[in-house]
Every structure is written in C-alpha cells, then in structure tokens.
Chains A and B, each alone.
Chain A
C-alpha cells in the first residue's frame, strides 16, 4: 500500500533527517511509528501524503509510492482521496466552524456532487459516532470530540490510508482512549491502513500489527512490535519488564504479561520503599478552603491542602477536574478565595516579583515563559529578574543535567529541553514551592525519565514539588504522594503506592501485571524465571490481597 524506496530526506543540505529508508506497509495494517523526539517521525508521516517535500521544502531522494501513485508527481491535494492526514491539535486544523461543514470541506474541494456529499457526511458521522454533533460549533466540543471530527473530516474523502501524527498528544487519557478506539475500529471494521505516531506506547501497542523504529540516526527499522521493542531506546513499562525478565519478546498487553508471570515463577524484589511518612515539620504551603470560580463554573471547591518540604505531590484526575486551576490558584496566578500561606505570606497579596521567590509555577506551555532570541539571553534575564549572581540560572540548568548551546533559539529546543530551561529560569528565584502544570505533555520516554530525575533532585533539595499530570506511569515513578481530584474536590489523598494501586483507573501497568503485589515501576521488579529466590527479597502481597478492582 505504501512503499518507501531508498528514501532520504534533508531539510537543509548536509543534515539528513531520513537516510535510505526501505520498507513497505501492507494494506489493512495498523503501523506504529516510534522514535525519540526529533528522529523524523513527522517527516516520515509527511512523506506519505506528499506534504514532505511539497509543503515543507527540503530535498527528497528515492521514491514514495502510495497506492500506485508516486508522491514526486502528485501534490498533497491530489492525494487527498488516497491519504487522510490528521495532525496533533485538531483545533489548529479546522477550516470552518460547524461540524457538518468541516466534514464537507474535503468533498467540496474534490468537487463531489451535493447529493453524494450529503450521503457521505451522514455515513461518516455514524462511522465516527458523532451524528449528534452535526450542527454544533467546533469550538464548543471537547478535545476528544474535536479530534474525532478531524478524523471524520479526512475520512469523508474516502481515503484508504489514514496518517495520524500524535493525534492524542493534546488530549486527556479518556479522550485519548476514545480516539484510539475509533482508530482501531477503522482498522478492524473498515479495513483501513493506518500509520500512527504516538508517544505513549502503552496505550496503543497491543493493537499494532507492525512498527517502524526510528532511532534518530536517519535509519528506519520495520518489524513486529514485540521484537523491535526488545532493543529500542523508547521503553514502555512492559518492554522494561521484558528486558529485566530476559523474555525473548515483549508482551504487548497487561494480559500477556500477566500470563507469563503466572506460568513462570516470578520473584519480586521491591526496591527500598520510598513511602516514608511525610515529615511532620511545618508545611511549606498551607491552603484552606481554596475556591476558584470562572463565571458560574466552580473549578475548585473549597480545597484544604498542605505541601511538605521534600515531597513530590502528583495531582491527577480527568480534564476539568480542577488540577490546573488549583495549581494556578496556589501560585497566586488566578483569583481565588480562601486562606493561603507560603512561609507566612499570601502570594496573592504580593507583587509577582516577590511571590516568585516563595512559590513558582511552570505552565503547561513552557514556551509562554520564553521570549528572548537565545538561551544565553534568557538565562541572563533570569539572573537579572531574580536579582541573583550572574551565572546562577546557568548553574541551575546544568545541575538539572541539561546542556544547551547558548546561541540556540529557545523555540528550536525540544519539548523536554524547553521545559528544563523554563524550570531553571523559575528556580533562579529560589522558591521553596515548585509547581509544574502538565509537564509530561509531548515528552518522549527518555525526556520523561530525565524529568523524573530532575523532580527527585528538587525533592532532595528540600523543595515542596506539586505536579499535575495525566501520566500514571510518570506519577508512579516521580511522586511520593498522589492527590486525586474530581469536579473541583479532592477525592483521594495518600502516598503514591497506596493510591495508585487501589484505583484501577490510576494504576500503572506494573501494578496491573503484578497485582496483588504493590509494584508500581519496572525498576522495582527483579524476576528470575528459574524460580530461585534470592534471600530476603520476597515481595509483599498487599494486605487486602484482593482483585484489582477495589
């Protein structure tokens, strides 16, 4: 269906993004595209419908043939009836303002008769399960609905191939699941060929037929996910488990892994329990009855909270549960009512300059904090605005384990580097409380591991850290305490191990694989299939010894 023949591509001469890619994707396949940030995933996806190089520019050698059409001869618009392309952020791709018009757009461009159009719109709406949304304004839909409309909008032209570039990166887990199940339905029920790039492999790899691995060198490797994941540098939790257990192939679902655990004889070695009781000295932040309202909507409903120094608290819950609003309110960034005290001061009553020496926040789009042309300028500005010794911000950045070229433009950095830069700038003011709003969005596995390290450093330095996140695996690895929120209220609050293993929705894959043992990260697991038990390393079954669902 799609064949890459000797494909090489460079945006600028001398720096090849893709080198000698030779592979073929068969009809009806769900092919996962995996690689670290900057390895050329988007470039390879763009090659499929001709956006690369017709839209992006650059030099392409070799051939890409899609359903018999050579992309050198066909412009992206001439491939619209063969390939449907869906980007990361649905809102940025909408041309019209009503769902039905958006779906009709591609057909209007292809000159399909109004009667046929009408019929296809209805079929597409039903296929994606969004018939009730027909006349709704696009801006009012939830993220998952928007992405489904975006997929419907390309499906209406009846392509045989669907190309999706991280379609879930802007969505919360429920919406992401919604979109991914729609995609897997298209593969299994409609027989479409799908090429999908996705950061969070754990949620799609069980459905994939094949995988393309881009290690970042320009090469590409094609194969079965279970084999490829053995040696990729992108390591979802189950792949990490397979490496520890020295299994020959990677289990692609929790069920696979659980079966193997039961047939083999697992020995668990729980790492030193990090669930130490929170130090009972004075909290770094004390909040009582914090309430945030937007017009008539109650975003945070009278929350009481204390953050102790040297702890990492993860705030979890679905979109709109009030996590971000709470963090912004704690930082004094949005109006709120209730009592708030950071080292005896209320950040809401202080100037922005003064409050950031007590408490700081890195927003979801870290780029919003950056505005100068080079990294060096940003760091110098950070020293100046925090009245710190010149070089402080740079030293902090280096202590986070990040080396950046001073002349680089912050906008050219990867998501992870940008986040670290923003964090270093905010830490220059030496605050005791550090808040991170959705820092894992758009990070690949290695960047996420790095962030985990950074968070641990902050914890050791005695900061009180709070993170809002959707990423269960990250929360399990990085936090000491988890606060679950729903509808503006805190519905669960406790140490990470207890909270994440007792709730099926928020339990990491390792907890599901090893239930009833409360393992939460692969690093805690040591398995020998020969059944020999090293002394004193037996795992502890959970007290309730029950099923996963509590």
Chain B
C-alpha cells in the first residue's frame, strides 16, 4: 500500500491546519493509503548548524541526533510527503523550514551545472512526490506567489497551493481533491 507522510509545520495549534490535515488523512485512507501525520512543533528539532557533516562525516545522515533522524528516514521511504505550513513573508513557517534544512543530506555535496545554474544532485534516485500547502489568514498576493516559487525551487516537481483559511469547508475539500489528483492520489 502506498505511504503518505503529513507534516504539520504550523508554529502554533491552528484549527484550520488541523482540519486540512484530518481531511487529507480521511481522503487518502479511503483510497487505500497508509497515512502518518506528524506535528513538527511537538518534536525535538534542532537547527541545522551548517557543519556539512551530513555530506562529509556521515554521508546522508545528519550528525545532530534528535527527532529529525527518524522523520528524515520516513520521508525518504514515503510515496508522498505533504507539508502543511503557514506562509510567512512568502516563506514556510519556522518549523517547516527547520525540518527542511535538516534534510540537506538528501542532496550530494558535489556541484553540477543544470539549466545554466549550479545545483547539488539528489542523493536518492527516487524522491517521494511532494505537496506543499500554505495556509494563510489573509492571502497577500505577492507572498503567495513567492511561496509557490520558493516551494518549487526547494522541492522540484512539488505541487504547491496556498489556501485561504477562511475558505469554506466545501471549497477546501474540492481544492484538496484537485491537489491530490495532481500528486497521483486517484480521487
């Protein structure tokens, strides 16, 4: 059965993020997915120290031994990863970004040129599909656009959307079905 990992990266308990997470779980479970939800703010997650230990000391594994290790492993072995996050100045929330940074080891240290830009190749041949959902109380158009561009740079191939937290339940469900369809969950 396909596996999905839902990461709630909201910095504070947010009823709207909770609702979207529960709805995603329900929809995917109905379609035969094994879903695990994790609330990042409840974990012990230290900040990446920029030591590059995950590149040259313990290749592929972060040297900071906290809850990120288990979660990074789960992320790699999932078929779909869903990030639920607030949108802050066009960037993801603190906790979403904190965990994202800890995944530096999923890239290789080497620099290559691709599409005219220097990049790091990915460590794993097969990356999980990625869905990034930003939840915003009032959607500032520039911030939403920036969030989408940033998400697609951080996770190439990711499907991204910003949802207005005041949107009706029906509208949210409709949007989630479209997004899940885009990442390969048959709805």
The answer to whether A and B interact is no
Binding site for B on A (CB under 8 A): none
